[in-house]
Amino acid sequence: MQREEIQRQILTILEDLFEFENPGLNDNLRDDHGFDSIDAIELLGEIEKILGFSLTRAEKEKAMTIRTINDILDYIEVIASEHNK
Amino acid sequence: MVNNFSPMFFDFIVTSALWFYFIGGFLLFFLFFYLLAYTLSNNRELSFQYLNHLFYKSFLRLTRLLVPRHSWQIDQDITKIKSSVIVCNHVSYLDPLIIISLFARHKTIVKTRFFHMPVFGWLMKNAGYLPSSTDDRFTFLMIKQVERMKEYLLKGGNLIIFPEGSRNNTGNMGAFNKGAFKIARLCQAPIKVLRISNSDKLFTPGKFLFNTRVRNKITVELIGSIEPDYLHAPPTVAELRNLVQKAFAAG
């Protein structure tokens, strides 16, 4: 999956499900959009749907350090590429 | 001086007796059953929740006995609540004990630092309580508990949340954290709003002694029941928070 396609899906999720307004790729998720750990756990469920497989414990824990939308995109790309190896 | 000293002395005796029971009663009457549940129970979380419920219930029974000037009135409908996110105001350290004593099947959100405490942390972890943040080694515990919450609620459990976070002694409601409403929406669960009053007159924030001398009535009321149509008209987190704030304002 191309980064542009992942970005489109993630932005749609953030706007529709998490009520983000005008999200920027480098916005601080917590400070700019009130995105907290419960949101992050909900987002992980959405990421699993995009990827089509379940995340491991380590992958989920790693997601809790994400700060920006670009971080989310990097995170998904890395996990997808590792899974395809 | 003697006049002031005597009532304070009585408060001291009662407080000592209550905290003695809190520690000694746990060790004498409950620890064995916790260990039994830890080793033998098929559902350790439910067993620990039930034991916590019983322990706090017994502590509050003793409290009622030792401080008869404080009367208690609890809505009977409250104990029938199930499969809900329960939000409650928070004015005294006793509030979590009071609310947990009403529900055999319950989980609650607790400050992460309490999970580090010996015994207390072990009890909370095994009862399936949630740490309030994803700091350090409790990150996965929180992820696991949030992911399982919908199923837990569907099976009849309740999630108790004090949305003000820390206990509030201003007399007014504090600002609400959004966590309760996010979990309710995530799990598509109804929200029950409880108001607890005057528990701070029995055990006042910032004071060590129980105040046994005032005549007081502690009440727990069900002041709101919010059952959104999550399928056809899902509310936003802000809308859920507003509904709860309105319930408190009206109640």
Q: In what order do the strands lie in the sheet with B191-197?
A: B70-74, B216-226, B191-197, B85-88, B158-161, B106-110, B130-131
CA-to-CA dists, residue B73 to B17, B44, B98, B221, angstroms: 24, 32, 12, 8
Task: Tell whether the model's pLDDT for residue B7 goes beyond 80.
Answer: no
- pLDDT, tens digit, for every residue of B79-124? 999 999 999 999 999 999 999 999 999 999 999 889 999 999 999 9
Q: Distance (Å) from the C-alpha of residue B199 to the closest C-alpha of chain A? A: 30
B20: its two tokens: 């003695």
Q: Chain A residue with minimal CA distance to B136? A: A61
Given this model, what pLDDT does residue B168 score? 56
The percentage of residues in chain B with a pLDDT greater than 70, rounded to a whole number, is: 93
B114: its two tokens: 């309490």
B2-250 fold:
Glycerol-3-phosphate (1)-acyltransferase (3.40.1130)
* Rounded Cα–Cα distance for residues B38 and B45 (Å): 9
Task: Tell whether the model's pLDDT for residue A38 goes beyond 70.
Answer: yes
Q: What is the rounded average pLDDT of the residues A62-67?
A: 91
Q: Distance (Å) from the C-alpha of residue A84 to the closest C-alpha of chain B? A: 25
Given this model, what pLDDT does residue B46 score? 98
DSSP state of B224: E
Given this model, what pLDDT does residue B172 score? 65
Q: Distance (Å) from the C-alpha of residue A36 to the closest C-alpha of chain B? A: 8
The ipTM, to two decimals, is: 0.84
* Rounded Cα–Cα distance for residues B149 and B158 (Å): 9
CB contact under 8 Å between B186 and A64, yes or no, is no
**B140 chain-A contacts, CB cut-off 8 A:** 57, 60-61
Under a CB-based contact definition with an 8 Å cutoff, are residues B67 and B210 in contact? yes
* Residue B4: band (very low, low, confident or very high) from pLDDT cuts 50, 70, 90: low
* Residue A1: band (very low, low, confident or very high) from pLDDT cuts 50, 70, 90: confident
Given this model, what pLDDT does residue A52 score? 95
CB contact under 8 Å between A38 and B238, yes or no, is no
CB contact under 8 Å between B143 and A41, yes or no, is yes
Under a CB-based contact definition with an 8 Å cutoff, are residues B100 and B194 in contact? no
* Rounded Cα–Cα distance for residues B200 and B93 (Å): 8
Domains and CATH numbers, chain A: 3-84 (1.10.1200.10)
| DSSP labels, B81-97 | --SSEEEE---STHHHH
Under a CB-based contact definition with an 8 Å cutoff, are residues B70 and B197 in contact? no
Q: Name the interface residues of B facing A (CB cutoff 8 Å).
A: 133-134, 139-140, 142-143, 146-147, 178-179, 182-183, 186, 236-238
Given this model, what pLDDT does residue B134 score? 76
* Rounded Cα–Cα distance for residues B143 and B106 (Å): 18
Q: What is the mean pLDDT of chain B?
A: 92
Residue type, A62: K
A37-41, A51-55, B6-10, B198-202: lowest mean pLDDT where?
Answer: B6-10
Question: Closest by alpha carbon to B51, among B62, B37, B64?
Answer: B37
The percentage of residues in chain B with a pLDDT greater than 90, rounded to a whole number, is: 83
Given this model, what pLDDT does residue B139 score? 87
Which of A29, A41, A55 to probe the B interface (max B CBs under 10 A)?
A41
* Rounded Cα–Cα distance for residues B247 and B225 (Å): 9
Given this model, what pLDDT does residue B94 score? 96
Q: What is the rounded average pLDDT of the residues B123-135?
A: 90
- pLDDT, tens digit, for every residue of B152-204? 999 999 999 999 866 555 556 777 888 899 999 999 999 999 999 999 999 99
Q: Distance (Å) from the C-alpha of residue A21 to the closest C-alpha of chain B? A: 13
